[in-house]
Amino acid sequence: MMKHWTSLLLVPLLCAACAKNADDGTLPASEHIEVAIGSGPRLDIQSQSTTRTSLDEDGEVVRWQTGDRLALWAVNAAAQTVLDATAFSLYHYNATYNSASFRGSIPQMAEDTYTYYAVSPVPASTDGLRASYDIPAVQDGTFHGEWDVMVATPIEGADALREHDKKDPSGISDNTDIVNLQFSHKMHVLKISLPKNDLGEPISEIELTFPKPVVGRLTVDAANPAAAAELSESSNTLTLRFSEPKDVGAVVYALIAPVTLEEGQEVSIVASSSAYESEERTFAPADRTFAAGHTTPINYNVPAAAEQLTQLVFTLTETGVNTLGETINTFTVTAPSGWSFEDGSQSRTFDVTGTGDYTVRFRGYTNPTEELDGFQVTYDSEHALLTETFTLPAVTAGEENRVASFRVPYLFEEDFSTASAQSRTNSTDELSGIGLPGWSASRYEIQPGRAAFYMYVGTSAFGGGDLKRGRMDTPFLPLKEGASVPIKVSYSIGAPIVSGTLSSRWHINCEFGVQDDTDGAISGDSEMSRMIEKYVPNEGGGFTGTLPQTKTDILISNATNRSRLTWRATDYQKISGSGVSVLTAKYFYIYLDDIRVSIAQ
The stretch 496-517 carries a mean pLDDT of: 94
pLDDT level of residue 60 (50, 70, 90 thresholds): low
End-to-end CA distance of the chain: 29
Q: Is pLDDT above 90 for 16?
A: no
Give the max Cα distance, the chain. Answer: 105
pLDDT of 96 reads: 57
The stretch 551-576 carries a mean pLDDT of: 96
Q: Is 193 exposed, middle or buried (0-12, 13-18, 19+ CB in 10 A)?
A: middle
Domain spanning 414-599, CATH class: mainly beta
Distances (CA, A) of 356 to 322, 378, 381, 405, 432: 16, 17, 18, 9, 35
Specify the amino acid at residue 168.
D
Q: Is pLDDT above 50 for 389?
A: yes
Q: How far apart are CA 441 and CA 452, in angstroms?
A: 9
- Taking only the tens place, the pLDDT of each residue in 282-337 is 999 888 999 998 989 999 999 999 988 899 999 999 999 999 999 999 999 999 99
Q: Is pLDDT above 60 for 128?
A: yes
Tally Cβ neighbours within 10 Å of residue 155: 18
Q: How far apart are CA 361 and CA 356, in angstroms?
A: 16
Least confident of 95-99, 315-319, 498-502: 95-99
Residue 411: name the closest of 515, 559, 513, 533 by CA. Answer: 559
- Whether domain 189-308 has CATH 2.60.40.2630: yes
Same fold, 189-308 and 310-409: yes
Q: Is pLDDT above 50 for 600?
A: yes
Most confident of 27-36, 279-288, 461-470, 484-493: 484-493
Percentage of the chain exceeding pLDDT 70: 86
pLDDT of 193 reads: 95
Phi first, then psi, for residue 463 (nearest 5°) are 90, 0
Q: Is pLDDT above 60 for 58?
A: no
Beta strand 215-221 with 46-47 is: unpaired
Specify the amino acid at residue 114.
Y
Look up the pTM and report it.
Answer: 0.67
The stretch 176-188 carries a mean pLDDT of: 83
Task: Give residue limits of the domains in the chain.
Answer: 3-133+143-186, 189-308, 310-409, 414-599
The stretch 57-81 carries a mean pLDDT of: 79
Specify the amino acid at residue 313.
V
One-character DSSP codes across 92-153: EE-TTSS-EEEEEEEEPPPSS-EEEEEEES--SEEETTEEEEEE-SEE-SS--GGG--EEEP
pLDDT of 99 reads: 61
Least confident of 141-145, 226-230, 386-390: 141-145
pLDDT of 577 reads: 86
Residue 527: name the closest of 577, 446, 473, 474 by CA. Answer: 473
**CATH number of the 310-409 domain:** 2.60.40
Q: Is pLDDT above 90 for 32?
A: no
Q: What is the mean pLDDT of the chain?
A: 87
Q: Is pLDDT above 60 for 46?
A: no
296 within 8 A of 311, measured Cβ to Cβ = no
Least confident of 84-93, 166-175, 309-318, 506-515: 166-175
